């Protein structure tokens, strides 16, 4: 590899040819501030915050896109550089809604931090025309507030990376703004509700729709029995809301915090993840042995399901009919649990803590009310739970570890790994392998489907049959998989698809991390490691071996895939118009 020698603030470094000044600076241990830049997502040099002085150039250059050359000397903090950055920030603020005290991103805003670092005050230095915009509240999962937008275009890049590209820069000059085609509301365009735009937005221009007031109201209503469930990935991410290291497993503290918030029962979605596996594996084996439609595709990710309904309605028969674990547990709570405890399901408020903004869309889908009432009433994100805990004055870090409430919380290692891409596939293979071979196989690690790669393929010989599987995460990879299925060139038997790159650990509702972290830390891998470590340490690692799962089928559902199980735990899908 050809190397280039340069100096960053007098520090000599050698970097691969083609490296940018920003990359060279990181190797030199020098942090250059950025605002629009996101590694591998948005590298356009638009915001001008990362400008530096460099020999052999005319004027200031943007470090995020300008390549280093042999012998180049770069200065990142000269008076000229700092003055330019401060002026740029003042210009950005001239058209920015400066309601920082009430903003959801206050103290967690990348623009606010830079203004503080460079001594930029709320002044009228560049006072003039300032466009104003109506809030877009049309979507169930998202608030779009262009009054806080700084035109960094990170959201546009993230949406493009997710293949759907429903937002972009509209108009020109001072009227430029991020909008949808023909200025439609977000709910009227083919947005899949993934929320990846919210985790990359540096300000409060894009944020999840806050449903915590609904939860507070339910908790304050003595006539309601309020229960909560937490998705597998939340234990690996919630700690970040309280400054804990990325990838810290806070399962016990999370259960303790939820109990202190006042929930009547604290359940673990891992239980229904195990139920999902026994139902999904049963469905897959049935298709495999009886000539059913293959490949069968998992249906746990509501963003992916919505994408399929929008873009591949003719292929919906490939999707498993299983509800997602969120909806399954909601349905179990309002049927089995309600009957067992003599509670009218209309008096139960079922709350879920999810890594995914699309879950807010999912709870409003048709055919998600097994009891006659919504399976899940309120879905909130990891971020919203973090805010609730802070609002309640709970010292999260000092909480003792507590257990979830049983029986709807007993889980296996197979359920825990649902939060990482490949986890659902591996969990299903553990059960399918035992069922098809008719024995309790010691081998439970299907490592070929692990890892954060966007597309993984593997072949496993099970009971003398070569079972071909694929795992995709991110809608761009989902689109590739579906195009092969549509044109008949796919030879897979079973496919797992997750809407968000890396799976639920990287969901649109997960804790926000600034670009300085996202550009240098592999969030997906660190978060997923916490789940695989827990799986490895567990005694029971196969869903069909769960005593709690066996008990609920013996007592209530009967056999896996029974008629009653289908009535409560399965659903159907519908093609959706792309535009309204």
Could you give the CA distance from residue 187 to residue 502 in angstroms, rounded to a whole number? 26
Q: What is the pLDDT of residue 179?
A: 97
pLDDT-based confidence at residue 579 (cuts at 50, 70, 90): confident
pLDDT-based confidence at residue 25 (cuts at 50, 70, 90): very high
Q: Could you tell me what percent of the chain has a pLDDT over 70? A: 100
Which one is the CATH code of 107-208: 3.30.910.20, 2.60.40.1120, 3.30.70.20, 3.30.420.40?
Answer: 3.30.70.20
338-365 confidence digits (pLDDT tens): 999 999 999 999 999 999 999 999 999 9
pLDDT-based confidence at residue 199 (cuts at 50, 70, 90): very high
In the predicted structure, residue 563 carries a pLDDT above the cut 80: yes
44-73 confidence digits (pLDDT tens): 999 999 999 999 998 999 999 999 999 999
Average pLDDT, integer, range 495-521: 97
83-127 confidence digits (pLDDT tens): 999 999 999 999 999 999 999 999 999 999 999 999 998 777 888
Q: What is the pLDDT of residue 129?
A: 84
Domain boundaries, the chain: 3-77, 107-208, 213-569
164-197 confidence digits (pLDDT tens): 999 999 999 999 999 999 999 999 999 999 999 9
Q: Give the pairing type, strands 73-75 and 348-354.
A: unpaired
Q: What is the pLDDT of residue 183?
A: 96
Which one is the CATH code of 3-77: 3.10.20.740, 1.10.3720.10, 3.40.630.30, 3.50.50.60?
Answer: 3.10.20.740
Average pLDDT, integer, range 214-242: 98
In the predicted structure, residue 1 carries a pLDDT above the cut 90: no
In the predicted structure, residue 435 carries a pLDDT above the cut 80: yes
Average pLDDT, integer, range 226-250: 98
Neighbour count for residue 244 (Cβ, 10 Å): 17
Q: Which distant-in-sequence residues (6+ apart) come within 8 Å of 27 by Cβ?
A: 13, 15
Q: What is the pLDDT of residue 373?
A: 98
Helices (H) and strands (E) in the chain, counts: 20, 17
Give the burial class of 173: count Cβ atoms within 10 A of its Cβ; 0-12 exposed, 13-18 middle, 19 or more buried.
exposed
Nearest to 350 by CA among 462, 219, 196, 455: 219
Q: What is the pLDDT of residue 245?
A: 98
Average pLDDT, integer, range 27-51: 96
Mean of pLDDT over the chain: 96
Give the burial class of 321: count Cβ atoms within 10 A of its Cβ; 0-12 exposed, 13-18 middle, 19 or more buried.
middle
Q: Give me the CATH topology for the region 213-569.
A: Rossmann fold (3.40.50)
Helix (H) or strand (E) holding 83: helix 79-93
């Amino acid at each position: 590899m050809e190397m280039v020698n340069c100096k960053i603030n007098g520090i000599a470094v050698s970097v691969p040819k083609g490296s940018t000044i920003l990359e060279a600076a990181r190797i030199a241990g020098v942090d250059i501030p950025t605002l629009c830049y996101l590694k591998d997502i948005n590298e356009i040099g638009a915001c001008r915050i990362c400008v530096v002085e460099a020999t052999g150039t005319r004027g200031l250059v943007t470090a995020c896109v300008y390549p280093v050359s042999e012998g180049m000397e770069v200065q990142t903090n000269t008076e000229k550089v700092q003055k330019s950055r401060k002026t740029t920030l003042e210009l950005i603020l001239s058209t920015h809604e400066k309601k920082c005290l009430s903003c959801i991103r206050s103290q967690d805003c990348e623009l606010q931090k830079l203004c503080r670092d460079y001594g930029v005050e709320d002044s009228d230095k560049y006072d003039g025309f300032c466009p104003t915009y109506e809030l877009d509240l049309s979507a169930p999962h998202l608030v779009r507030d262009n009054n806080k937008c700084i035109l960094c275009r990170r959201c546009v890049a993230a949406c493009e990376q997710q293949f759907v590209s429903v937002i972009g820069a509209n108009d020109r000059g001072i009227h430029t703004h991020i909008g949808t085609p023909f200025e439609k509301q977000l709910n009227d365009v083919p947005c899949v509700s993934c929320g990846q735009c919210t985790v990359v937005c540096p300000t409060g221009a894009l944020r999840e729709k806050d449903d915590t007031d609904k939860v507070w109201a339910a908790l304050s209503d003595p006539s309601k029995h309020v229960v909560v469930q937490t998705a597998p990935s939340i234990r690996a991410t919630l700690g970040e809301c309280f400054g804990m290291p990325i990838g810290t497993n806070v399962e016990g503290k999370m259960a303790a915090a939820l109990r202190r918030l006042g929930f009547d029962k604290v359940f673990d979605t891992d239980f229904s993840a195990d139920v999902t596996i026994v139902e999904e594996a049963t469905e897959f084996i049935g298709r495999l042995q009886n000539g059913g439609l293959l490949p069968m595709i998992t249906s746990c990710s509501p963003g992916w399901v919505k994408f399929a309904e929008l873009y591949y309605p003719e292929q919906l028969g490939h999707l498993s009919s299983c509800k997602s674990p969120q909806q399954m547990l909601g349905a179990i709570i309002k049927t089995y649990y309600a009957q067992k405890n003599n509670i009218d399901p209309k008096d139960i408020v079922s709350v879920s803590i999810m890594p995914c903004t699309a879950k807010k869309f999912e709870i409003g889908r048709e055919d998600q009310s097994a009891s006659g009432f919504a399976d899940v009433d309120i879905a909130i994100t990891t971020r919203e739970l973090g805010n609730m805990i802070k609002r309640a004055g709970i010292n999260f870090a000092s909480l003792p570890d507590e257990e979830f409430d049983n029986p709807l919380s007993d889980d296996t290692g197979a359920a825990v790994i649902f939060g990482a891409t490949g986890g659902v596939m591996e969990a299903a293979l553990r059960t399918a392998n035992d069922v098809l071979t008719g024995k309790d196989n010691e081998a439970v690690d299907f490592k070929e489907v692990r890892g954060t790669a966007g597309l993984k393929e593997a072949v496993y010989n099970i009971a003398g049959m070569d079972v071909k599987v694929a795992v995709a995460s991110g809608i761009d990879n989902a689109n590739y998989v579906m195009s092969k299925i549509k044109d008949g060139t796919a030879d897979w038997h079973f496919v797992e698809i997750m809407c968000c790159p890396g799976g639920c650990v990287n969901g649109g509702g997960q804790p926000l991390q600034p670009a300085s972290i996202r550009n240098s830390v592999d969030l997906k891998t660190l978060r997923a490691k916490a789940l695989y470590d827990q799986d490895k340490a567990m005694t029971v690692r196969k869903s069909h071996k769960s005593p709690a799962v066996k008990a609920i089928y013996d007592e209530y559902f009967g056999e896996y895939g029974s008629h009653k199980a289908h009535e409560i735990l399965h659903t159907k899908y519908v093609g959706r118009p792309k535009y309204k």
